[in-house]
Amino acid sequence: MEKKIVFVLVLAVAFLVMTGEAVAFHGITGTVFNATDGTPANGHTVIIYYFGDEANNVSDTIGPTGASGTNNMYMCDAEMISNHTWVPGAEIYVEVIDNGDGYTTEPVSVVTTTAAFDVAPDMTLLPPLPPIVSDPQAIPPEIVVDTEFTELRITVTKTYFDIANVTINLTPIGGTWVPMDGSTYTWLTMYAMSNLSEDITVYNCTTNASVVGSFNLIVNATDIKGKSNTSVSIPLAVTNATTRDYNLVKKAGSTGKNWISIPLDTTITNASSLMDAIGANCDAVSRWNPEEQKSEAWISYMGGMGIDFDVVPGEGYEVSVTANTTFNLTGIPVEIGQIDLIKKPSSTGKNWIGLPYSTTMTNASSLMDAIGANCDAVSRWNPEEQKSEAWISYMGGMGINFDVVPGEGYEVSVTANTTWTPN
C-alpha cells in the first residue's frame, strides 16, 4: 500500500507538471482491474462526479494514453468538475462508463481529504450482460413419440447488443425440424415469432420427438458480441401413445347398444365425430343430460340429425351399432378432473361417467365407495346380453359387483348433488 501511495504521489506531481497547475488541483486516482474475461481496462473511460449529477463530470482514459500514463490507472482533477466547488470532505463518485463495447464498472466513492490527491477504491471492469432468456413454453407440453409435434417458444430480451441467434438443443429427444430448404437438424435455430417491444422478442420452432421421457431442452441466446445465455430450458414430456380397442356388439334379434367413454386425447370432439370414428355401422350416439335427467342423441339419418353434443373425458356415452363393429382410438391418456354428479330435485340422480385410463378402481363396489355415501347405485350395460347390470348400496351392497374397465361407460345414481374426482 505504501508503494502504491508513493506511486500515486508521483502521478499527481507529474499531472501538475503536465497541466501547469500549481494551485486548484485535487487529484482523484485509482486502479481498474481487467475484466474476468481478459478484456483490458486500458482505453476505457473513467468519470468522476458528485452524487446525482453525472452530467457534470471530469473524465480520463485508463492506462498509458490517459493522464496517469500507467496501465490500469487513471487521474482526474476534482477541481475541474463543472458547477461544483471542491472542498475537503466532499464525496466524489467514480465509475467506468460505456465506450461502446458494453464494459463498465459499478460506481465507487471516496471522501476527499486535504491532501493533494485521494485514492478511490479499486474497481474491476465488468463485461456486458448476456441476453435474458425467459418464459419457456412447449405447446402442447406433452406429445406422443414419433407421432405428434409441439411448438417450442422462448422470450429473449436484448440487454445491450442485438441478438445474433437463438438455438435449442433437440439432441436429447432425437427431434427433427424440416425448414424450407428441406434439411434437418438436431441443434435447431429458433426464429423470431413476434416482437413484444424494441428489445423483447419471442422465438419459436416446431419439432417432434423419437425418444420417450421427460426432458428439459436447453436454449442458447447469443448476441452479436458472442455473449451467450444457456440458463433456461424448455420442459417437454414425450410419451408412448395408447391404443384402446372397442368391440361393439349387435345382439342378433335385439338391439346394438354399447356404453363407452373416451379416456384418451383424440380428435373426437363431438357426437358426429365419434360416429364417424366408429364407422358406417353406427346409427346413434347418446349422452345423458344430468341437469335435465333425460337423453340427448345424434342419429345417422339423412347424414346426421339431433343434438351434436360435445364429447369430453369423464362422461359416458351410449353408441348403437347395426352390426358387430371393432374400432380403436390412439392417444395420450388424459386427466379427468372433478365431475359434478347431479341429483335433479323431484327427479332422478342418474349420471353417465367415464373413468381415467389408469384408474385404481377395480369393480362396482370400489367405484361406489370412491364416490361416497350419496351414491346409491352403479350400473353398466352388458352388450352381449343387451341388458343392464347393477350394484346398489342397499344393506351394504348387493347385485352384480362387475369389473370396471377404462373405456367403458357407467351410470351412477346419487341422492344429492356430489362433486367427485375419479382416480
Model confidence over 22-55: pLDDT tens digits? 457 999 999 999 999 899 999 999 999 999 999 9
pLDDT at 331: 86
pLDDT digits (tens, 9 = 90+) for 208-237: 999 999 999 999 999 998 899 999 999 999
Q: 195, 101, 104, 105: which is closest to 157 by C-alpha?
A: 195
Rounded distance, CA 261 to CA 312, Å? 9
Q: Is the pLDDT of residue 250 over 70?
A: yes
Rounded (5°) CA angle 124-62-8: 90
Q: Is the pLDDT of residue 332 over 90?
A: no
Average of pLDDT values for 285-306?
97
DSSP 396: G
Residues contacting 50, CB < 8 A, separation 6+: 56, 81, 84, 90, 91, 92, 93
Number of Cβ within a 10 Å radius of residue 124:
14
Average of pLDDT values for 285-307?
97
C-alpha distance from residue 119 to each of 6, 30, 32, 261, 382 (Å): 11, 5, 12, 80, 93
Rounded distance, CA 380 to CA 404, Å? 9
Greatest distance between any 2 Cα atoms in the chain: 121
Rounded distance, CA 316 to CA 205, Å? 38
Evaluate whether 231 touches 129 at the Cβ level (below 8 Å).
Answer: no
Residues contacting 187, CB < 8 A, separation 6+: 167, 168, 169, 170, 171
Please name the residue ranges forming H helices in 124-248: none
pLDDT digits (tens, 9 = 90+) for 88-117: 999 999 999 999 888 999 999 999 999 999
C-alpha distance from residue 228 to each of 101, 200, 217, 232 (Å): 15, 16, 16, 11
Q: Is the pLDDT of residue 178 over 80?
A: no
Evaluate whether 274 touches 309 at the Cβ level (below 8 Å).
Answer: no
pLDDT digits (tens, 9 = 90+) for 111-169: 999 999 999 999 999 999 999 999 999 999 988 888 889 999 999 999 989 999 999 99
Residues contacting 169, CB < 8 A, separation 6+: 186, 187, 217, 218, 219, 220
Rounded distance, CA 242 to CA 265, Å? 10
Domains, the chain, ordered by start = 2-124 (2.60.40.10), 132-239 (2.60.40.650), 242-423 (no CATH)
pLDDT at 3: 43
145 alpha carbon, distance to own chain's centre: 20
Q: pLDDT averaged over the chain?
A: 91
